[in-house]
Chain A
Amino acid sequence: MFGLDAKDTRLVLIVAVLTMLAPFILNPFPEGSELAQFNAGYPDLMQRFVIFGIFAIGFNILFGLTGYLSFGHAAFLGVGSYAAIWMMKLLTMNVVPAIFMAIVIAGIFSLFVGWISLRRTGIYFSILTLAFAQMSFALAYSVLTPLTGGETGLQPKMADPRILDGSLAEGTTPRANLFGLQMSSSYELSVGGWLFTFNAGYYLAAVVMLIAFYISIRIFRSPFGMMLRAIKCNQQRLNYTGLNSKPYTLAAFVISGMYAGLAGGLMVAMDTQVGPERMFWTASGEVVLMTILGGAGTLIGPVLGAGMIKYMENIISKINSTILHEWFYWMPDGLEDFVVAMIYPFIGKGWHLTLGIMFMLVVIFLPGGLVEGGQRIARLFGKGKKAETDEGGTKPSSTPAE
């Protein structure tokens, strides 16, 4: 279906169903219960899941397929965001031109950065991309202030021209919309103790992510994708086989830059403000972590990695010592304090420590990322049957996870 084989079609359908039902799936605990803080089904976080999913899917096309490790992809995300907010300021609060322009401008910028950075390979390539991203960050912060708003960033204002929109009534704030449907509008469904929120912005981002995911599968299965994997494997052989590796890597770089721009544009569509901090090098590092954690070079891995990291960032960081004491109240006093003291460094602001340990464990024991973990579990349970339970075909059976 849609030009995909049965296994890939199944994977797309599974992902589609999961994203569409996410408001239910991510809210398994009733409101007000003790476990409600583990609920992730609120619009802001769900939007981040899919937007960073798009970012990581695109990054994976470059890193997962060609092996070129870019440390500057946040720059494209940031450039996309600025392009989007300017469309909102100048043209219309409708998100379509904003998102479109984010992709175009990020694509042009990544063409320029890739053209220069791809003259080198390996660590030198990584350093060049990092340098470009940090330059972009520094410029956005300082000399480009008229364009970027500097430290305060940019927001749509009443006074902006917005030539396509009619003038707003006095005292109203401009809101991002899709042909009138406001991105922040939500429908809340209360069933028993549960509260499910269906947010327009989330569903727009989720549909865009599904399209982005589908395109990435097509790229993986195409001759172009095969050439990219060949570049990762043996660039010398590829050159002596009559193929010019340079335009292939550049095309992969630009495609992944456009994905990053798309993610940046969607961020603005969800939350209409941009600051330079989203171009900071830690943001570039985060997408590398997401991709490796989920499984570089696999189809679904980057989405899983993005979800995992964003979940930890938002949920684990919210746990504090009071909550821990509540959990362990049944223990004898001394022991309770001891257990809380032991766990405390891993929660709240310490969630980075948890992430770091998890990342180390994955890299050492599951080099194929969470996807490989899933495959191993599936194999464990499917032992009696044929060991063909391929975890939804995360990788073609022809290319085992390395």
Chain B
Amino acid sequence: MGILEVKGVGKNFGGLKALSDVNLSVQENTVHAIIGPNGAGKSTLLNCLVGKLIPDTGSVMFDGQSVLGRKPHEINQMGISRVFQTPEIFGDLTVMENVLIPCFAKRDGAFELNAISAVSGQNDMKEKAEGILRDVNMLDKRNMHAAAMSRGDKRRLEMAMCLVQEPRMLLLDEPTAGMARADTNNTIDLLKEIKEQRDITIAIIEHDMHVVFSLADRITVLAQGTPLVEDLPENIKGHPKVREAYLGEAH
């Protein structure tokens, strides 16, 4: 039994079959990559996991509980944090505030009318936020306007916002899309560090094979809405079906 169990998930958009009969089992404390050509249904699958979409058929269980029909904030409170393809941060707020918000979400739940005590007086929250900023080497930027940072920094900040919640599972949606080589390598290093230092399960959707093969413990190849193969990275590399899916020859 994996921590995340996807069984028979299907999703149609009008006449288009985006996903059909997707089965996936992600083991605890591993990095599981989902790869596939454009239009394979990777993002649709991820959106089904985080509550943005509700699948037409099948079930998604996280740690024995169904996530289907739950709102994004409820799924987050279950312990699943999500990183977006383009970093989603609070641009008008400072770096520190960006990290404080998930700290409060973790401590106080989905809603807390805490309108009288000052943020600046919450020393335990501040220490926690500073700790995670130190971990991702951003402590010196904590008073910066988040929107003013480079894309690589925004990505690291978003990662910090997820990690400070100590999620049990991290979902990454093409975290290196559109990044320069150097930024990509930094992201790989950051993810390796996270994997080594924390008890965390990571599911990653990725286009870049370099990223996938440097991180993944297991890989699922998705093509035209169904899983093609699932195997160890070294077996995926030369797999004929995978080559076929990537190099053309549409079914």
Chain A interface (Cβ < 8 Å from any Cβ of B): 3-5, 218-219, 221-227, 229-230, 232-234, 236-244, 247-248, 251, 255, 397-400, 402
Contact = CB atoms under 8 A, between A and B. Distances in A.
Contact of A218 (B89, B109, B118): B118
B113 A251 contact: yes
A222 B117 contact: yes
B128 interface: no
B247 interface: no
Contacts of A219: 115-116
B250 to A, nearest CB: 33
Nearest to A400: B145
Contacts of B97: 226, 229-230, 398-399
Interface in B74-95: 76-77, 81-82, 84, 88-94
Contacts of B145: 399-400
A395 to B, nearest CB: 11
Given A229-B97, A398-B93, 19 more contacts: A3-B118, A3-B121, A5-B118, A219-B115, A222-B118, A227-B101, A233-B90, A234-B89, A237-B89, A240-B88, A241-B76, A242-B73, A242-B110, A244-B73, A244-B111, A398-B96, A398-B97, A399-B145, A402-B92
| Prevailing SS type, chain A contact patch | helix
B73 A224 contact: no
A53 B96 CA distance: 32
B117 A223 contact: yes
A230 B110 contact: no
B50 interface: yes
A251 B110 CA distance: 14
Nearest to A252: B115
A232 B161 CA distance: 18
B110 A222 contact: no
Contacts of B73: 239-244
B176 interface: no
9 contacts: A222-B118, A223-B112, A223-B122, A229-B90, A237-B89, A240-B82, A241-B105, A398-B143, A399-B92
